[in-house]
């Protein structure tokens, strides 16, 4: 029987007592010796009692702080060298974890369960995830099969390097994925099937969280690869200004203020992109130092 003493399974949970009743015994049987850590994000149901019944470790927030905040709490207090993140609502099947761990053992820093067709709760979510994944793939010049999947295996020390960047809401998978690619860490994807949640209601609001994801796209562009965002905008201003200048020159023989404004906008946007690129690099200045300290330890 394999020992998983080096492993911590972190499960953020808010009012997920029903899902935990079936998930926790399955994890205990599948991963003997692993630390099972439930982060109770201010639940008002029997979540604390369920954790106590199955004798798993739990960490409770006095009030709800968000899924990302629960993830960060779990990462801070987990004892394992390798972290497994999964949901408590039945969408992530425990039997998928060994497959991710097997891929992780090949030398990757993070392995993500990539949901296949039919795994998403609705067509709108599947389309949104595909759009975000394609955009992120273009930003990092690497294929990203599933940008928002919450089932992942990751090196604990390297994950903690980016805790300060992670939001408290539901967008932590997006940020940590982009952070790992930006830092040059190795990321792999393993196909999984995530069935619909087995109990309770989703805590994601399509309108509210849809707007948040739109802001996340902007954040991704400015935080991880600013020139990928600013350079096309600058080029658009420049080409538009040039075309307008040619039109006004050929039609009336003059250079207009609008053309000057477009050219100036192109230059300023390009310069902002350069400055943003330098600021973005500062987030990763201590990555190599931290890795060396971990190796020495």
Domain assignment present for 217: no
Per-residue pLDDT at 132: 75
Residue 97 in this model has a pLDDT that exceeds 80: yes
173: Cβ contacts below 8 Å, ≥ 6 apart: 112, 147, 148, 149, 150, 152
Judge whether 55 lies within some domain. yes
**Domain assignment of residue 166, yes or no:** yes
Is the pLDDT reported for residue 13 higher than 70? yes
Q: Average the pLDDT over 95-119 and give the result.
A: 91
Indicate the number of domains in the chain.
2
Same domain? For 189 and 269 the reply is no
| Residue 157, C-beta contacts closer than 8 angstroms, at least 6 positions apart | 81, 290, 294
- At 243 the pLDDT is 93
Tell me the CA end-to-end span of the chain in Å, nearest whole number.
29
Q: Does residue 220 lie within any of the structural domains?
A: no
> What size, in residues, is the chain?
297
Write the pLDDT tens digit of every residue in 231-288.
999 999 999 999 999 989 888 888 888 989 999 999 999 999 888 888 877 766 666 6
Residue 120 pLDDT greater than 80, yes or no: no
Chain mean position to CA 216: 10
pLDDT bucket at 51, cuts 50 / 70 / 90: very high
What whole-number percentage of the chain has pLDDT above 90?
53
Give the range of the structural domain holding residue 273, as residue numbers without chain letter. 226-296
> Which residue in this structure is represented by tokens 């190795």?
186
Looking at 211, 241, 273, the residue that finishes a domain is 211
Q: Which of 177, 211, 245 is where one domain is finished? A: 211
Most distant pair of Cα atoms in the chain: their distance: 84
In a shared domain, residues 93 and 203: yes
Chosen domain end from 186, 211, 236: 211
What CATH code is carried by the domain that includes residue 23? Answer: 3.90.550.10
pLDDT tens, residue by residue, 172-213: 898 899 889 888 899 999 999 877 655 555 555 555 656 766
pTM for the predicted model, two decimal places: 0.78
DSSP SS3 for 289: helix
- Nearest Cα neighbor of 224 from 162, 150, 288, 296 is 162
Q: Residue 207 falls within a domain, yes or no? A: yes
182 and 274, same structural domain?
no
Confidence check: pLDDT of 32 > 90: yes
Residue 163 has pLDDT above 50, yes or no: yes
219 belongs to a structural domain: no
């Amino acid at each position: 029987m394999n020992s998983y003493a080096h492993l911590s399974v972190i499960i953020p949970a808010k009012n997920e007592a029903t899902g935990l009743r079936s998930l926790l015994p399955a994890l205990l049987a599948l991963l003997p010796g692993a630390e099972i850590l439930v982060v109770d994000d201010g639940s008002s149901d029997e979540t604390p009692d369920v954790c106590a019944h199955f004798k798993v470790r739990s960490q409770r927030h006095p009030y709800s702080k968000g899924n990302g905040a629960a993830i960060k709490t779990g990462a801070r207090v987990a004892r394992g060298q390798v972290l497994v993140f999964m949901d408590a609502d039945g969408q992530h099947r425990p039997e998928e974890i060994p497959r991710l761990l097997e891929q992780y053992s090949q030398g990757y820093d993070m392995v993500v369960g990539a949901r296949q067709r039919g795994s998403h709760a609705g067509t709108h979510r599947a389309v949104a995830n595909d759009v975000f994944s394609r955009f992120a793939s273009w930003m990092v010049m690497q294929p990203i099969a599933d940008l928002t999947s919450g089932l992942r295996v990751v090196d604990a020390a390297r994950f903690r390097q980016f805790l300060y960047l992670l939001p408290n809401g539901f967008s932590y998978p997006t940020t940590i994925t982009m952070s790992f690619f930006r830092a040059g860490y190795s990321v792999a994807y393993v196909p999984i099937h995530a069935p619909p949640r087995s109990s309770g209601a989703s805590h994601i609001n399509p309108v509210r969280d849809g707007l948040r994801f739109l802001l996340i796209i902007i954040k991704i562009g400015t935080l991880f690869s600013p020139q990928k965002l600013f350079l096309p905008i600058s080029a658009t201003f420049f080409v538009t200004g040039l075309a307008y200048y040619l039109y006004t020159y050929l039609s009336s023989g003059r250079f207009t203020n609008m053309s000057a404004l477009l050219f100036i906008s192109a230059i300023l946007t390009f310069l902002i992109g350069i400055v943003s690129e330098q600021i973005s690099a500062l987030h990763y200045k201590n990555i190599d130092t931290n890795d060396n300290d971990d190796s020495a330890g």
